[in-house]
Amino acid sequence: MQAEKEEEEASPEEYVALCDFTARGSEQLGFSTGDKLLVHAKPSADWWWAELQGVIGYAPASYLRQDAAEDEDEDPWQDDEYFGSYGTLRLHLEMLSDRSRTETYRQVIVSNSASLRNKVVMDLGCGTGIISLFCAQLAQPSVVYAVEASSMAEHTRQLVKQNGCEEVVTVLQGRAEELELPEQVDILVSEWMGNCLLFEFMVESVLLARDRWLRDGGVMWPSSAALTLVPCQADSYYSEKMAFWERPYGLDFTPLQPLAQQEFFTKPKFSHLIDPKDCLSAPCDVICLNMYTVQEMEGEFKFCVVKPGVFHGFTAWFTVQFESLEAGGATVELDTGPNSDPTHWKQTLFMLDKPIHVYGGDSIRGNIVLRRNPVWRRHMTVTLHWTINSSSDNCQVGTKSFPMWK
Ligand code: SAH
């Protein structure tokens, strides 16, 4: 029985949600239609122990089906699932409710409105059309091509009309990869950023559209992006998921700790909100992308620990910059880090397997590599290597790879 259980835990099975389920209580796992859940165990016929984006809980078995199409028949970009999710309001509501994000785009348009006059703009992945509508209402471009692959495009057309922008904004429903335009564009604006900046790799579609449709000397918004990393404490997360097993109800449950590590610390934790006081050093930009050129997705870091603490892991977030079209105009920046207004991306936490005590003056150096999954093109593995040099004793070396998600 034990062996069987272990086998089940070792290779969770993927299931697809047939309909939405709202969790009642913290033991249950909520999900939406089309979500892919990993089922770790089937303790009863009705309730399975499942995982969705790093969150674990009981899911009703009858809501799930194993995808009939086996992996090899599936689209490596998972476009049906990806664009399916953007065809409903859930994600658009989350994005539009994120004021820091949306206001930054508005500010970019407002502060460049004079230079946008008579320009040809492409809003790639326009969603509800918010950025296109900002352009049409706050500046006077000659045309905005609002490109959207999901079925939201049908509603976007209506929103454009409803807001009297149909003379300027043309909604084109389809994938950027198959786009046909009557002309090249002066400005390519897009909100393509995912968790940990690159997750879902929409940036690839943006770069492809840039090569095909941006005229020589045209402008990309964002113009650059950076992934930032900081070594951090994550005491409460560690206590909740790992230290918990030390003595629950006066019993020694430590044999479950390796399982806990596998279950909770193998993948990064999305939607983490780091308290600036949990940063063990100043953050460091580890990957900088210039949107006009192609770059390596790897970088180095060297952190100087500023106070004694427990090094539980690394937290990552990103910034993007929008260059000004006006001579001497200010660059606008969107910062998703802990010292700015929170955004819906929050931060991403990468837990080490074992916490390490560090002291002021220690250094943590190493590198980060983002590697695309060779099959599943929207997924990647983040690998961190680190060396801790401490004044008190020798150096410690570590490495860990985190799948996000496949
Ligand atoms: N611009 C909107 C939506 C941003 S989310 C806003 O700021 O609120 C990204 C959008 O891009 C989604 O609606 C998604 O369906 C769309 N998208 C992603 N990749 C695309 C592609 N290759 N071609 C067309 N649309 C794409």
- 3 occurs within a structural domain: no
pTM of this structure: 0.81
- 35 occurs within a structural domain: yes
Q: Are residues 145 and 57 in the same domain?
A: no
Q: Dihedral sign for Cα 40, 237, 398, 302, please.
A: positive
Q: Are residues 262 and 393 in the same domain?
A: yes
* 186 Cβ inside 6 Å of ligand 1: no
Assign residue 208 a region: left if phi > 0, alpha if psi is -120 to 50, beta otherwise? alpha
Q: Are residues 213 and 128 in the same domain?
A: yes
Q: Which of 221, 249, 269 is the last residue of a domain?
A: 221
pLDDT of residue 24: 78
Distance between Cα 193 and ligand 1 center (Å): 10
SS (H, E, C) 99-152: HHHHHHHHHHHHHCHHHHCCCEEEEECCCCCHHHHHHHHHCCCCEEEEEECCCH
Q: Are residues 283 and 181 in the same domain?
A: no
- 74 occurs within a structural domain: no
Q: Are residues 179 and 232 in the same domain?
A: no
- Please check whether residue 336 is in contact with residue 345, taking contact to mean a CB–CB distance below 8 angstroms: yes
Nearest protein CA to atom 20 of ligand 1, as residue? 125
Count of structural domains, the chain: 3
- 134 occurs within a structural domain: yes
The CATH number linked to 23 is 2.30.30.40
* 130 Cβ inside 6 Å of ligand 1: yes
CA distances, 10 to each of 3, 234, 258 (Å): 10, 26, 12
- 73 occurs within a structural domain: no
- Please check whether residue 343 is in contact with residue 243, taking contact to mean a CB–CB distance below 8 angstroms: no
One-letter amino acid at 300 equals: E
- 36 occurs within a structural domain: yes
207-210, long-range: CB within 8 Å, 24+ apart, which pairs? 207/291, 207/294, 208/176, 208/177, 209/122, 209/124, 209/147, 209/176, 209/179, 210/291, 210/292
- 6 occurs within a structural domain: no
- Active-site residue flag, 191: yes
> Could you say which of 13, 180, 183, 191 is catalytic?
191
175, 179, 201, 345: residue to mutate for ligand 1 pocket, most atoms within 8 A of CB: 175
Q: Are residues 349 and 229 in the same domain?
A: yes
* 83 Cβ inside 6 Å of ligand 1: yes
Strands 284-290 vs 332-335: parallel, antiparallel or unpaired: unpaired
Q: Are residues 129 and 253 in the same domain?
A: no
Task: List Cβ neighbours of 293 (8 Å cut-off, separation of 6 or more).
Answer: none
Q: Dihedral sign for Cα 259, 264, 265, 267, please.
A: positive
CA distances, 49 to each of 9, 263, 305 (Å): 10, 11, 39
Q: Are residues 356 and 262 in the same domain?
A: yes
Q: Which of 196, 221, 246 is the last residue of a domain?
A: 221
pLDDT of residue 72: 53
Q: Which of 169, 194, 221 is the last residue of a domain?
A: 221
Number of C-beta neighbours around residue 114 at 10 A: 11
Distance between Cα 11 and ligand 1 center (Å): 33
Q: Which two tokens stand for residue 319?
A: 């910034």
Q: Are residues 370 and 279 in the same domain?
A: yes
Q: Which two tokens stand for residue 101?
A: 């994000």
The CATH number linked to 360 is 2.70.160.11
* 132 Cβ inside 6 Å of ligand 1: no
Q: Are residues 154 and 86 in the same domain?
A: yes
- Active-site residue flag, 200: yes
Task: Residue 44: give the domain boundaries.
Answer: 11-65
- 181 occurs within a structural domain: yes
Q: Dihedral sign for Cα 323, 334, 284, 350, please.
A: negative
Q: Are residues 23 and 137 in the same domain?
A: no
pLDDT of residue 294: 66
The CATH number linked to 115 is 3.40.50.150
pLDDT of residue 73: 63
pLDDT per residue of the chain (406 residues) written in tens, 0 to 9: 333 333 334 688 899 888 778 887 788 899 988 899 999 998 877 789 999 988 999 998 877 888 655 455 678 888 998 999 999 999 999 999 999 999 999 999 999 999 999 999 999 999 999 999 999 999 999 999 999 999 999 999 999 999 999 999 999 999 999 999 999 999 999 999 999 999 989 999 999 999 999 999 999 999 999 999 999 999 999 999 999 999 999 999 999 999 999 999 999 999 999 999 999 999 999 999 999 986 678 999 999 999 999 999 999 999 999 999 999 999 999 999 999 999 999 999 999 999 999 999 999 999 999 887 777 888 888 999 999 998 777 789 999 999 998 7
Q: Are residues 213 and 229 in the same domain?
A: no
pLDDT of residue 296: 73
Q: Which residues of 201-210 are buried (b: 16+ CB within 10 A; e: fewer)?
A: bbbbbbbebb
* 147 Cβ inside 6 Å of ligand 1: yes
Element (H, E) at 265: helix 257-265
Ligand 1 atom closest to the CA of 177, numbered from 1: 22
